[in-house]
Amino acid sequence: MEGGAISITPQEALNKYFALPSYKKEQLILIQEILSGKDVLGVLPTGYGKSLCYQIPALLFKRPTVVISPLISLMKDQVDALEDRGIAATYINSSLSLEESNERKRNIRKGKYKLIYVSPESLKLKRFTDLLRDIQPAQVAVDEAHCISVWGHDFRPEYRRIRPIIDTISRAPIIALTATATPKVQHDIL
């Protein structure tokens, strides 16, 4: 298993942190692929539990997971929900004061978080990518991955720069997740 695994199984993590009895078939397939070190694309319906597909591996890895997310409110909601479950998570975005941002970055460097949510735009900042390079994330999750595609209505050019930047940071597996993806959008994501 990549990312310096700890000794808890995916099923134990699901039961302990999420109080769920079992995975959906597609979730388990994506989780197993990430745990074996492969890049994966998950196109699953809204409300299907896409976030579990990177959150569970994050709990199994010693090194943190970086989650690239397009919306500040989505980052905050995810981090709040994880913290409510006893999972150390944070976000870095423009809603933070400079002091809050710097404190969180110091804690990232100290290894205090399992999941770190960032915007794609933050990957343009050399000091931040240097930090990510130093911590060597175990996996990178790209949430709302349809934003990568020029064929989608939510296209954000910063999403197109993710892979080249991540390749300079870590050889971590990448999981891209979305609920909406035509064949053209899937091709762009891949």
Encode pLDDT of 102-142 as tens digits: 999 999 999 999 999 998 888 888 898 999 999 999 999 99
**Mean of all residue pLDDT scores within the chain:** 89
24-32: long-range contacts at Cβ-Cβ below 8 A with a sequence spacing of 24 or more? Answer: 24/48, 24/49, 27/52, 27/53, 30/175, 31/56, 31/57
Question: What is the pLDDT at residue 3?
Answer: 53
Distance CA 169, CA 104 (A): 19
Bridge partners (DSSP) listed for residue 189:
none
Around Cβ 118, how many Cβ atoms within 10 Å? 20
pTM above 0.85, yes or no: yes
